[in-house]
Amino acid sequence: MKIIRSIDNLKKIIKSFRDSNYVISLVPTMGNIHDGHLALVKKAKLMNTICIVSIFINPTQFDQSYDFNNYPRSIKLDCKKLMLCNVDILFIPSISTMYPNGINNYTCMYVPYLSKILEGRKRLNHYKGVTTIISKLFNLIQPNLAFFGEKDFQQLIIIKRMVHDMYYNIKIISVPIIREINGLAYSSRNALLSKDEYKIAHKFYLTLKSMADKLKNNTYHVINLIKTTTYQLEKIGFIVDSLYILDSKYLTYINNNSTNIVILSTVWLGKIRLIDNIRIKITK
C-alpha cells in the first residue's frame, strides 16, 4: 500500500494505473477505520479494482469546532487495517492541500433542498462540506467507482444527486450497514462512547427494528408509531433528535401507495450523536 499526501504524487500514480487500463475505485473516509469501512474496501477489491482510500477529517462538514477537535483519530491503526485488506493507495491530504485558500469562504459544491432537510435542518453547513470535499476528491482522482455506506442514508442520496446533476462519470456503489453482533451500526464515533453508554447503544437499533416490524405488519398508524418509538427510546436513555418514516427514493413523506420506505433516526447518547436507518419494502 502506497501512502500519498500530495496532489502531484497522487496524480502521477493514478496516471500510471489508468495508462495500464485499471478500473479505479475510491473509498472516501474520515479515518478511525472500522468494519463498515472495510466492507466498502472489500467490495472494491472483489470487483478487481485499484482501491484508493482517502482519510481526511473534513473541517467544513463540522458545525462545531468541538466536534471536529474530538473526532477520533487513529492513523497508525488505520494504516495497518487497510494494508491487511490490500488497499493499493492511501491518500492522506492535509487541510491546506484540500483547502488551499483556507476553510472560510471556500469554493463549494452544494446540492439544494436535500442538504437543508432532515439532518441538514440543524447542521446547516454539514452536507455542503460533504459534497464539496467529495467533489474535490472526485475531480482529483476521477475514479470509475466510488463506495459509500448506507448508514448516512441522506448523505448517500445527496451524493447520488450531485453525481447525476454535475455529470460526473462515476458509478456510486452503496454498501448496506455493517452491524456489531448486538445490532449497533459500526461508526467511528462509537469509540467516543463510555462503557455504560456502549452497553445500551445497541438498543437504538433494536427499538427501530421493532418499529420497522410494526410498520411492515401495518399494525400502527405512522404518527402513533413515531410517538411510541420516541417514548421508548427516551425511556432507555436516548434523546431523540429526529425520527422519520419516509419514501426511500426521494426522502419525501409516505402515502398509502408507498412501497419503499426508510426509517431514519438520530439520537443523542450523552454527548454522542448516533445515526441509523432501516429500509423496508412493503408488499401491497
Residue 185 interacts with ligand PAF (CB under 6 A)?
Answer: no
The interface region with ligand PAF, picked from 70-78, 105-113, 126-134, 217-225 by CB under 6 A, is 126-134
Q: Which of 10, 14, 24, 28 is close enough to bind ligand PAF by CB under 6 A?
A: 28
C-beta of 98: minimal distance to ligand PAF in Å?
A: 10
The interface region with ligand PAF, picked from 2-10, 15-23, 127-135, 267-275 by CB under 6 A, is 127-135
Residue 130 interacts with ligand PAF (CB under 6 A)?
Answer: yes
| C-beta of 63 vs 228, nearer to ligand PAF | 63
Residue 230 interacts with ligand PAF (CB under 6 A)?
Answer: no
Check 34, 37, 164, 221 and give the catalytic one: 37
Q: Which of 88, 119, 152, 276 is close enough to bind ligand PAF by CB under 6 A?
A: 152
Residue 32 interacts with ligand PAF (CB under 6 A)?
Answer: no
Give yes or no: 126 in active site. no
Q: Output b/e per residue, 260-270; b: 16+ Cβ within 10 A.
A: ebbbbbbbebe
Residue 29 interacts with ligand PAF (CB under 6 A)?
Answer: yes
Residue 119 interacts with ligand PAF (CB under 6 A)?
Answer: no
DSSP the chain: -EEE-SHHHHHHHHHHHHHTT--EEEEEE-SS--HHHHHHHHHHHHTT-EEEEEE---GGG-SSHHHHHHS---HHHHHHHHHHTT-SEEE---HHHH-TT-SSS------TTTTTSTHHHHSTTHHHHHHHHHHHHHHHH--SEEEEESSSHHHHHHHHHHHHHTT---EEEEEPPPB-TTSPBP-GGGGGS-HHHHHHHTHHHHHHHHHHHHHHTT-S-HHHHHHHHHHHHHHHT-EEEEEEEEETTT--B--TT--EEEEEEEEEETTEEEEEEEEEE---
Q: Which of 58, 60, 132, 190 is close enough to bind ligand PAF by CB under 6 A?
A: 58
Residue 39 interacts with ligand PAF (CB under 6 A)?
Answer: no
Residue 133 interacts with ligand PAF (CB under 6 A)?
Answer: yes
C-beta of 42: minimal distance to ligand PAF in Å?
A: 17
Residue with cell 405512522: 222
Residue 120 interacts with ligand PAF (CB under 6 A)?
Answer: no
Q: Which chain residues interact with ligand PAF by CB under 6 A?
A: 28-30, 58, 61, 130, 133-134, 152, 155
Hey, which residues are catalytic here?
37
